[in-house]
Amino acid sequence: MNDLLFHHGTRETLKRQAQEGYAVVVPLAATEQHGPHLPVFTDSMIGEHIAFEACKKAAMSTKLLLAPTLVVGCSQHHLAYGGTLSFSSSTYLLMLKEIGESLVSGGFRKIIYLNAHGGNEPFMHQAAQDLAVQHDIWTASASYWSLSRSALMEIQAQEMGMVPGHAGGFETSLIASLAGHLIRSDTTDSPKHPQCSWINAGPPGSFVGKHSYLTGVDGYTDSALPADAAKGSMYLQAIIESTAHWLVQVGNWMNEGAEVTK
């Protein structure tokens, strides 16, 4: 699948693919603390895996290129814990827009942001909207947990705690499936770690937050003890299927819209 990867192309192949109507998927992730037990590259490992596998499936039905993952995101709320690299919100928004501008300059007219870190989400949506306002292009943006929410509920992923949460049972299950040797089992928490239900509380589109608690208690949202590698593999497969389905849908919408506007 080397022809799937934007960064394996040459300037000539990429110019041709831009002319042929390929969409570029830009994966967004983070390098940030994930409690005392998970690696700081957690979101990037999860995001890269989902993006590659989902794009590989979707590319059978629609023209896609997968750009390199942006492994530093907007993680200002994690800086106090250490082990975190971050852009400020204003810098991150500008960076996302300028990556889009670069693709537009290269001839691409379809840009899709695919996110794996909660702190990136509002800036991703804003960048996609701004680019579509400023240029005659198609854009789309989504986080993997939004695309797979129904599928994850069907397989009862919520038994792990918050979905996706931060460094709790759900994310720990995903890392257990992908790279279990990186989990510090000697530092996992007790069952008494409170589930921070106020995070993401309220209806979709609302926000509730408090200084120093946006990451949960001690930098994670719920207990990691329920984590299970086999279930993590099942969750990843559900996420990949849901994400691939959305990418094909988006590709079809963009293609149909292009025909209408000709």
Tens of pLDDT, residue by residue over 31-80, are: 999 999 999 999 999 999 999 999 999 999 999 999 999 999 999 999 99
Cβ atoms of 78 and 219 within 8 Å: the answer is yes
- Identify the CATH number of the domain in which residue 139 sits: 3.40.50.10310
pLDDT of residue 244 exceeding 70, the answer is yes
Query: Is 205's pLDDT higher than 70?
Result: no
Q: Provide the whole-model pTM.
A: 0.92
Burial class (CB in 10 A: 0-12, 13-18, 19+), 60: exposed
Q: Whole-angstrom Cα distance, residue 135 to residue 157?
A: 40
Distance CA 9, CA 5 (A): 7
Per-residue confidence at 233, pLDDT binned at 50, 70, 90? very high
Residues 6+ apart with CB under 8 A from 3: 9
When pLDDT is averaged across residues 162-175 and rounded to a whole number, the result is: 96
The pLDDT score that the predictor gives to residue 256 is 81
SS3 217: strand
Phi-psi region of 190 (alpha: psi -120 to 50; beta: other; left: phi over 0): beta
Q: Which is higher by pLDDT, 159 or 204?
A: 159
User: What's the pLDDT score for residue 260?
Assistant: 45
Q: Comparing 48-52, 191-195, 258-262, which segment has the lowest mean pLDDT?
A: 258-262
Instruction: Quote the percentage of the chain above a pLDDT of 70.
Output: 85
At residue 262, the pLDDT reads 47
Count up the domains in the chain and report the number. 1
pLDDT tens digits, one per residue of 95-152: 999 999 999 999 999 999 999 999 999 999 999 999 999 999 999 999 999 999 999 9
pLDDT for 110-126, tens place per residue? Answer: 999 999 999 999 999 99
Check whether 257 has a pLDDT greater than 80: no
- Cis? peptide before 164, omega within 30° of 0: yes
Report the chain's mean pLDDT, rounded to a whole number. Answer: 91
The amino acid present at 7, given as its one-letter code, is: H
* Angle 55-61-66 from CA coordinates, rounded to 5°: 25
Instruction: Label residue 258 by pLDDT band (50, 70, 90).
Output: low
Say if residue 26's pLDDT is above 90.
yes
- Residue 109 and residue 137: Cα distance in Å, rounded? 5
Domain limits at 28? 2-260
